């Protein structure tokens, strides 16, 4: 998880990015809506087509 700052309701609060790793780019990707809402989070799928962006080669 990577911690970010999120502006909400007139003040800053902590937010997060959730990553799911799957080799098959056609796999289903789902992150809990409760997690996304509770933590002002953003979700991203990392697969064989975009893993270099995540690893920063």
pLDDT, position 37? 84
Band of residue 13 on the pLDDT scale cut at 50, 70, 90: low
Least confident of 7-11, 16-20, 50-54: 7-11
- Is beta strand 11-21 parallel, antiparallel or unpaired with respect to 2-8? antiparallel
Least confident of 1-10, 16-25, 35-44: 1-10
Tokens read off for 37: 């809402």
Domain count within the chain: 1
Domain that holds residue 45: 2-55
pLDDT digits (tens, 9 = 90+) for 23-54: 998 888 888 888 888 888 889 999 999 999 88
Once rounded to an integer, what is the mean pLDDT over residues 15-22? 86
Q: How far apart are CA 21 and CA 47, in angstroms?
A: 6
């Amino acid at each position: 998880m990577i911690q970010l700052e999120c502006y909400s309701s007139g003040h800053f609060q902590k937010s997060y990015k959730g990553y799911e790793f799957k080799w098959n780019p056609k796999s289903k990707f789902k992150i809990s809506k409760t997690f996304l809402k509770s933590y002002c989070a953003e979700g991203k799928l990392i697969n064989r087509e975009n893993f270099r962006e995540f690893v920063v080669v």
